[in-house]
């Protein structure tokens, strides 16, 4: 069985997150709920954050599990949280777009690279923050394919 990496239900618009942990938990829970990972993957996302911040700049964070989290991943998947008010994301950074990633067999590297390409342009980040429908975000990802 193949599973869409980013179906519409993996996107949440207008999210409020209390703090960085809350944002990571929400991004991870979408992956758990969608059957991409088991619940233990969220702990691995927190572990990854302790090793190195997943804040990428431009208001973008890409939390994902540690290398040893591979056994928790059933399918490659992506979750997207649009947080218009932003959330404090360590070291004085503010994340407004949080992409949760689970990659099967190193597929996360390909997903990461697509997000990096898309988010390297501030105009794209602005467009994603202003999106009022999940389809608008999906369309942007399809353009990168």
- Cβ-Cβ contacts under 8 Å for 24 (sequence gap 6 or more): 42, 45, 46, 49, 63, 98, 100
Count H helices, E strands: the chain? 5, 5
Which tokens hold the place of 49?
């954050």
Name the active-site residue from 64, 96, 108, 134.
Answer: 64
**Under 8 Å between Cβ of 26 and 80:** no
Task: Label residue 53 left, alpha or beta by phi (over 0 means left) and psi (-120 to 50 means alpha).
Answer: beta
For 8-40, what is the HEC assignment?
Answer: HHHEECCCCCCCHHHHHHHHHHHHHHCCCECCH
Note if 108 is an active site residue: no
Any idea which residues carry the catalytic annotation?
64
């Amino acid at each position: 069985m193949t599973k869409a990496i980013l179906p519409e239900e993996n996107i949440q618009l207008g999210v409020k997150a209390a703090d960085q942990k809350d944002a990571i938990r929400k991004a991870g829970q979408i992956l758990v709920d969608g059957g991409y990972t088991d619940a233990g993957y969220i702990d691995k996302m927190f572990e990854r954050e302790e090793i190195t911040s997943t804040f990428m700049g431009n208001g973008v964070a890409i939390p994902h599990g540690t290398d040893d989290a591979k056994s928790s991943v059933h399918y490659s998947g992506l979750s997207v949280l649009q947080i218009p008010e932003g959330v404090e994301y360590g070291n004085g950074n503010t994340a407004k777009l949080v992409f949760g990633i689970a990659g099967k067999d190193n597929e996360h590297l390909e997903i990461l690279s697509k997000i990096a390409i898309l988010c390297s342009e501030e105009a794209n980040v602005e467009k994603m923050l202003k999106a009022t429908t999940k389809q608008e975000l999906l369309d942007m990802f399809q353009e990168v394919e």
